[in-house]
Amino acid sequence: MTKAIKKQALGRGLSALLKDPDNDIKSVEDKNADKVVGNIIELEIEAIEINPFQPRSNFNEESLNELATSIKELGVIQPITVRKLDFNKYQLISGERRLRASKLVGLTTVPAYIRIANDNESLVMALVENIQRHDLDPIEIALSYQRLMDEIQLTQEQMSDRVGKKRSTIANYLRLLKLDPIIQTGIRDGFISMGHGRAIINIEDLDAQTDIYQKIVSQNLSVRDTEALVKNYHESLKPKPAAKVKAASFDIDESQKRLFNSYFGNKVDIKVANNGKGKITIPFQSEDDFNRIIELITK
């Protein structure tokens, strides 16, 4: 069982809080609101409605099916985000592709971040506190940074001030989210390190990424070994320079060739190497022709 699935399972207890009509959480001042803000909740898909103002209306079917296959094998790695409209009623903020793909594979629940009224500052505090924990894997940290950027509209510089990390450090975590989902899961499960992931991310082709990931796991390769693999991959993509043909040290002009051909009565092949050496090839058609050439040479 992957860490992603384990983390989703923890949200099932929290989801019970949202189904108590007598203690409906509507704002950060309500009882148990602190348990919801910043946490992942396992939410019923039927309780989520699509945002009517979603600017994106066309979804590539092939890409959606690929995501559905990934979710079927690995689960939903990155939770969706919804806002609470009413009791057990939510509207999607981000993650429509993940929601659609989850429906395609028949999931009834999906991991979600729930936004409630006036929770902006509480969410920032919860996420910053979460990032400071020592038991988070690199992907969980990256997702928290991404969430601060998407939902609170923080820049990397602003996040740097909030969490006390260099902007370059934050950027390195965020780049991990460009890895193939299989590799992200591998980092979460501890099969490879963040260093491995940072090396692999330099490859844009996802199939090539997963090929190298499989080699790392099966051969127990170090980060240095991985960097060498990535370097060799990029070298293999470079066009090989055409072999240079060295020019002969001098040229045999056509009149000289004609002279040889005329003298021997056959088409003579003359080759000159770049060091000045060469050879003359005189063909013959029969024994009589051979003897004729011998006679010409020995005159």
The catalytic site residues sit at 96
Query: What is the gyration radius of the CA atoms in the chain, in angstroms?
Result: 35
C-alpha to C-alpha distances, 50 to 65, 83, 108, nearest whole angstrom:
19, 11, 16
Q: 42, 76 in Cβ contact below 8 A?
A: no
- Strand 269-272 and strand 89-94: the pairing is unpaired
Helix 156-163 to helix 167-175 angle, to the nearest 10 degrees?
110
Q: 115, 93 in Cβ contact below 8 A?
A: yes
Q: For the residues of 62-122, what is the DSSP string, one character each?
A: HHHHHHHHHHHHH--SS-EEEEEEETTEEEEEE-HHHHHHHHHTT-SEEEEEEE-BT-HHH
Distance of alpha carbon 255 from alpha carbon 197, whole angstroms: 67
Distance of alpha carbon 68 from alpha carbon 45, whole angstroms: 15
Distance of alpha carbon 190 from alpha carbon 176, whole angstroms: 14
Amino acid letter, 62: E
Distance of alpha carbon 31 from alpha carbon 124, whole angstroms: 19
